Structure 1
Amino acid sequence: MPIKTLNGASASDPARPDSGGRGRGTASRWTGAPVFAAVLLLAPVLLHLVSADLLTPLLLWTAAASLIRSRTSLLDRLFISAAVLVGWICVLGLIASFWPWGLDPLALAETTALALTGVRVLRGAPDDSARRRTRRNLLPARDVPVLLTSAFGFAFFLRPLLHRDAVDRLALVITSEDLGRHFALYDSMIRFSGYLALRADDAARTIQEGVYTYPPGSHMTLAVLTSFVRGTDAPAAPLHALSLFILLSTAVAGALVAFTAWAVRWAAGPAVAARFLLPVCLAGGVWVAVVELPRLVLTGFLSEIFGLALFAVFLALAVRPLSRTGEQLVCMGAVFVAIACSYYLLLPATGLVALVWAWAHRRRWLRQIGRTLLAAAAAGVLALLPIAANWASAGSASVLTVPGAVYPVSRHLLYPVLAVAAVLLLGRGARRNPSARVAAGCLAATGLLAFGIREYQMAVAGQTSYFFEKMMHGLFLATVVTAGAAVGPALLAASRRARPAGTGVLGRLAPAVTALVATACLLAALLMNSQPDLAKDSGWSSSAGRVYLRAQSAHPRIADQVTAIDRARPKDDGKVSMLLLGDRVPTDPARIEDNLWLGVLSRDQGLSWRAWTFALKGRTGQEIVDFADQSAVPLRIYLSDPELLAQVRQAARTGHHKALDVVMVTFEGHRAELAPQRLG
């Protein structure tokens, strides 16, 4: 006999559709809709007048969560609606690229309020049973493990940042080359009010050639949040904008931990007791936060982290769908669009997961074939837009063998957990559970995709490279999420066999103590295995989590030099700055990335990226003058070596060069003394 949860859902068939309140008449659609619309339309204006725009997205997020009528708790609705709103923001960014208001927070809020009001009218008012379920499930005990894991994830990643100023935050990310480009994309979207693929002429100065068509979902989402944080769409000073961006992009890492914990709990099922969920959710969250994710954060893979968080939600919805088919179609379609716009490298895995869900639940969506085709068509068209924008650089299979710098997933943790999850999902109890069957299909699909790319790379290039490791990140997350579905039947059986606690103090404490002991054992095992597989070869002397938490990757002196020169350089004179300070050796990534960060702070990376490439290694005076002769833009070069300055002077006397400014730089602590030496 199926086990009934507190809200009436069946544990053995969580996707059982309900009536959805059909047949209530047209009048019920308007019940409460005027009040709903009035609040959403008037509140952003009032909050804007009192400079409290930051409360507006919270209001809109809550309103979006209230529109979900499937059997869920409030926390479930908040997680699902957050992912859906990211898909909406991707569409809203396209609209904002054409209208005259840009990313003005009031315009964004009013448009979102109108869209939510339209959905509210179409959905109708919730029936009395739905209202009772909502009041009864505001915060069930099974949500507590998710909240605890989420708090840990945000605290872990934000702790090194909160007590630091803008320069110290730059010091933490100075070696994250990719993050510098992500900031340039984000900052340019704010400055030019829309997608850069539609602002190619403006982006030519601020963004490196070929980068402005990069999937913009994560940057647009952070840009929209920034407009609400600041209460305006006017760009901030570069260093202040960078400081806020580092904080927001790091919060994305905390969000990935939270979404992973929620997806694990959702996949495990609504009938599993909280004390059994605690070790599973915390173990999954700590594995992500401490073992794998810090390496992605330290290398600046913002869009991938953002996309993985959305992928976790998509996996969860595929494994255990919402009880209403229409809501399931809309939510999966919106998250699919969000993944395509944010990190479409995950689209093949996402598409396979969607096919697994569609086959397993074909009877449900075939009964609503019209809605299904409409949702699929809308999601497909919107998902193709970022792919079409990048087709010239990403439309060939040869891209799959392109090399790149990426740290591998910890195989010694992934493979054992993958094997255990696969065995559990093939067991008798799991085969009789619809969610476990879908989870097995999703895990198999993502695994076959990852190892299929491995075989392709081995056949074509003779070795694995960048994109195989990226696919392994997707397989890692799929393993964590589907592990929740794998252990779900066992945890449910344990919940059914658990005896009621005794009346004494020890009897009441026994379940909590057991859960805490199991959690401690799992976390200890994870932390002891947080060391990467090849620490020496991968460049890590200790676990990435320890490196991040202790800020061992910070380079405050380089950050001081970059920001000091940015403050002292002449502004708006048409010259591009190039730094040739210190020893330019590839083994010192902090030193050779100084030009990248000066370029994004100068907002001229589209012009300065060639100078960044030139300065990745040491140069002679003659090479410097020759490069200045060939440069399409006039240069200002900052040197700290008197001997190199003498070489430049000598080469300048005999050459036919353009006007070239050379600035001698000496540093004392945090202060830079600049001595201009104009040549030519």
Structure 2
Amino acid sequence: MIRKTVVALALAWLVPLATHQLHLDFVLPVLVLAGAVAIQRGTTSLLDRVVTAGSQLFGAACVFGIAITLWPGHLHPTLIAGIALSVLVLIAAATGRVPEMPPMRKDALLAVAVAAVSLVALVPYVVRDLGGRLGLPLAGEDIARHYLLFDVIGRTGGYLFMRPEALRPFVPDAELTGIANYPQGLHFSYAVLDRFVRSSGHNAAPATAVDVMVWLLVGTYLLLALAVLWAARRIAGPGTSPARLLPVLALAAAWLVLGDPVTVLSRGYPNELAGLTCAAVLTAVVARPLTRRGEQTATVALLLVGVSFTYSLFLPYAGIVAALWAVRARLWRFWWAWLVAVAVAGLAAIGPLTAARASSGGQLLLNGTARVVDRPATALLVVLAAIGVLALRSPRLRAAGFALATAGLMAAGLGAYQLATLGRTVYYFDKLLHLLIVVALCTLGGLARLRFKATAAVAVPVVLLMVVAGGKWHTTPVAPGVKLALGKDRGSPEAARDALLIARMFPDGGGAMNVNLMSTPWRNWSGTLGAAALQGQYRNFPRWSGLLYPGGKGGTMADLDRLVADSPVPVRFFLHDPAASLLVVDTDHPSRPAVRAGQPLPVAFGDPAAPSNIEAARALAAKYPTKVQLVYATPANP
């Protein structure tokens, strides 16, 4: 046994050394996952082991990031893979578990459902160019800051909440605390996976890096879909026939790609996707625990850490349902359980503590760019899930019902607080509705215990209804997922292409603030934001945001002159369309073209009496010849 362990430890380092020399590091995450799958014993099928092993690895990676931040090796793939494989070898040796292939239980129906969701979700991204793919989340704005964290973690080699000063060159001082303390478990994981994908120890050029990140974002959504469908099947129970499971999985799959969950992908919220994935797996393993107490404890503990390091808004839900399992399992009887509880409490506290440092007192009342959740459809889904868990008496279904009630009460409580304070519900209420939707989709597994005809009679019309309508009150024609699949939901592809053009011309910003004035107002604003993030120049963007933002009061020529004069770095204006304009004569009474709600803004959006973009830029270049540069560019179009 000792000899085998020594040989395995040697291979744990020799294999990563070889793959790096051959530029094949992309196989190492697969080997690590395979190793984690091979030592699982708390589940029976291959897919069960893959999901639980993947959950454990993600939580462990979040914790491992703390150590990586402190050591000088940073994110080199050989070092990370060598340690990960070594740890798996030592766990196998300590537990006496000889790696084995689990039985290939038939999961054809689940595989078909996952494949269908993957196909529908992937098509809108595969058929688009990089600008089209990036343009989808760029419309939501937050993706720029997610890329910033991903990029700077890659540059510095670890968590920024542990060394916020490393972020200072990249963000304004006013935003340093907020961005540095944003949960970074997923950004860290993305930065590590980026190294494996490219077999590199350093960051790539902006276009390559953001392309990898967008595909990792899509992959995170696909993992959410896998987790939800797997959870629904697991909660249904091992004795459920394929015929009874079919309408349940069809309904859950349709909801994932047609309804609100797909908007979390299209609007670019990777952290929320990861938090929802952890919540889905946690819901399943609490309702139907793994057969080994040790593996169950490790999985629940690491899922709590995963939620904390990605989306701490969901941590109360995760903590409550985890506590339910701990009480049912009577963990208080074991001395080691107390040690685990203390360790998990300390690690899970990192997310909310850093988030509290970054947030204002009224954080839960802030608005955002998330799409408003379809309220009636969500209520219908919750009712269906409740019927499933109440139809039969079972400890598994009672636990699932408890999870559903917990998620529902959290959303209702925040909604009541926002209504009492603001008179309406906003951003974070919709985020908790996303959690409620995911938990409800998981607990739909209870419906599989009912007769096929009854379940199908409900599932088919609900799916058809989801196809033809969507939106806040389910009155908007065409579901969000259908719009995405048909190309109706475009985001801001032109702005993304402008940002990529600017970043390709000046990868590090060229020592200047690059301002996009080439085209329409939203394209200019989003293109400037995207370019600033890609170039590592986001620090200079916020001072320009107010003037460029089409929804604001705008700015005068004097305001633009002042921005240039006060800029700590040179200003480079990108120009193209002679008709493009944004300036006004009087910000209190701006004269702008009348545009109906929902219609695109015209290129000539400024006051006709004010200078056009080209005229204003030329005037400033003449006034500040050493500080203002003009670039006449041709925007890239598909």
Return the TM-score normalized by structure 1.
0.81
Q: 1:155 to 1:392 in 2, by over 3 A?
A: same
Q: Give the 3-state SS of the residue equivalent to 1:101 in structure 2.
A: coil
Correspondent of 1:490 among 450, 467, 473: 450
Deviations 1:119-172 (A, max 9, x none): 21232236xxxx9xx76x62212x222211222222222222234443343344
Correspondent of 2:357 among 376, 379, 392: 392
Separation of aligned partners in 2, 1:634 and 1:154: 45
Partner residue of 2:81? 109
Separation of aligned partners in 1, 2:216 and 2:206: 15
Q: Any residues of structure 2 matched to 1:649-664 within 5 Å, and which?
A: 659-663=626-630
Deviations 1:579-616 (A, max 9, x none): 233342xxxx4443111111122121123232234311
Aligned residues with identical type, % of pairs = 26
Is contact 2:69–2:158 with CA below 8 Å preserved after alignment? yes
Cα offset, 1:647, TM superposition? 4.4
Is contact 1:103–1:233 with CA below 8 Å preserved after alignment? yes
Separation of aligned partners in 1, 2:137 and 2:282: 30
Cα offset, 1:46, TM superposition? 2.9
Cα offset, 1:197, TM superposition? 2.1
Q: Any residues of structure 2 matched to 1:580-619 within 5 Å, and which?
A: 580-584=517-521, 589-617=522-550, 618-619=554-555
2:209 is equivalent to residue 241 of structure 1? yes
Correspondent of 1:444 among 389, 397, 405: 405
Q: Any residues of structure 2 matched to 1:536-547 within 5 Å, and which?
A: 542-547=478-483
Cα offset, 1:524, TM superposition? 5.9
Correspondent of 2:292 among 287, 299, 324: 324
Q: Which amino acid aligns with 1:543?
A: A
Q: Which is worse superposed, 637-646 or 179-188? A: 637-646
Deviations 1:285-340 (A, max 9, x none): 22112212221122111110111011101111111111111111111001110110
Q: 1:326 to 1:268 in 2, by over 3 A?
A: same
Deviations 1:215-236 (A, max 9, x none): 1111111111111111112111
Q: Give the 3-state SS of the residue equivalent to 2:192 in structure 1.
A: helix
2:57 is equivalent to residue 93 of structure 1? no
Q: Any residues of structure 2 matched to 1:205-604 within 5 Å, and which?
A: 205-207=169-171, 209=175, 210-362=178-330, 365-367=331-333, 369-394=334-359, 396=361, 398-427=362-391, 429-430=392-393, 433-484=394-445, 486-490=446-450, 522=459, 525-531=462-468, 533-534=470-471, 542-554=478-490, 555-569=492-506, 573-584=510-521, 589-604=522-537
Separation of aligned partners in 2, 1:658 and 1:354: 63
Return the TM-score normalized by structure 2.
0.86
What RMSD over aligned residues (CA atoms) do the two structures have, in Å?
A: 2.9
Separation of aligned partners in 2, 1:424 and 1:167: 43
Q: Which amino acid aligns with 1:51?
A: H
Separation of aligned partners in 2, 1:523 and 1:43: 50
Q: Give the 3-state SS of the residue equivalent to 2:310 in structure 1.
A: helix
Separation of aligned partners in 1, 2:483 and 2:92: 47
Correspondent of 2:115 among 151, 154, 166: 151
Q: 1:571 to 1:115 in 2, by over 3 A?
A: closer
Separation of aligned partners in 1, 2:369 and 2:380: 26
Deviations 1:436-475 (A, max 9, x none): 1111111111111110111111222222111111111111
Is contact 2:447–2:455 with CA below 8 Å preserved after alignment? no
2:554 is equivalent to residue 629 of structure 1? no
Cα offset, 1:479, TM superposition? 0.9
Count matched residues.
597
Deviations 1:537-584 (A, max 9, x none): 99x653211221123333544334333333345966421112233342
Separation of aligned partners in 2, 1:295 and 1:284: 15
Cα offset, 1:105, TM superposition? 0.5
Q: Give the 3-state SS of the residue equivalent to 1:636 in structure 2.
A: strand
Is contact 1:161–1:169 with CA below 8 Å preserved after alignment? yes
Partner residue of 2:152? 188
Cα offset, 1:522, TM superposition? 3.0
Is contact 1:620–1:647 with CA below 8 Å preserved after alignment? no
2:615 is equivalent to residue 646 of structure 1? yes
Separation of aligned partners in 2, 1:94 and 1:321: 29
Separation of aligned partners in 2, 1:436 and 1:31: 47
Q: 1:609 to 1:316 in 2, by over 3 A?
A: same
Separation of aligned partners in 1, 2:406 and 2:31: 38
Q: Which amino acid aligns with 1:597?
A: G
Is contact 1:621–1:648 with CA below 8 Å preserved after alignment? no
Q: 1:144 to 1:670 in 2, by over 3 A?
A: closer
Separation of aligned partners in 2, 1:412 and 1:292: 12
Partner residue of 2:606? none
Q: Give the 3-state SS of the residue equivalent to 2:42 in structure 1.
A: coil
Separation of aligned partners in 2, 1:152 and 1:436: 27
Separation of aligned partners in 1, 2:167 and 2:347: 23
Q: Which amino acid aligns with 1:160?
A: P
Is contact 1:425–1:437 with CA below 8 Å preserved after alignment? yes
Separation of aligned partners in 1, 2:474 and 2:167: 38
Is contact 1:260–1:481 with CA below 8 Å preserved after alignment? yes
Which one has a bigger Cα radius of gyration?
1
Is contact 1:267–1:488 with CA below 8 Å preserved after alignment? no
Is contact 1:592–1:616 with CA below 8 Å preserved after alignment? yes
Is contact 1:599–1:608 with CA below 8 Å preserved after alignment? yes
Q: Give the 3-state SS of the residue equivalent to 1:638 in structure 2.
A: strand
Is contact 1:535–1:542 with CA below 8 Å preserved after alignment? no
Cα offset, 1:520, TM superposition? 10
Deviations 1:630-673 (A, max 9, x none): 333332233444743434566788x8x795314263637659xx
Partner residue of 2:603? none
Separation of aligned partners in 1, 2:473 and 2:335: 56
Q: 1:570 to 1:237 in 2, by over 3 A?
A: closer
Is contact 1:625–1:652 with CA below 8 Å preserved after alignment? no
Q: Which amino acid aligns with 1:347?
A: L
Q: 1:319 to 1:670 in 2, by over 3 A?
A: closer
Is contact 1:153–1:257 with CA below 8 Å preserved after alignment? yes
Is contact 2:516–2:525 with CA below 8 Å preserved after alignment? no
Separation of aligned partners in 2, 1:85 and 1:372: 20
Separation of aligned partners in 2, 1:473 and 1:669: 36
Separation of aligned partners in 2, 1:280 and 1:426: 16
Is contact 1:308–1:477 with CA below 8 Å preserved after alignment? yes
Deviations 1:343-368 (A, max 9, x none): 11110111121122223333xx234x
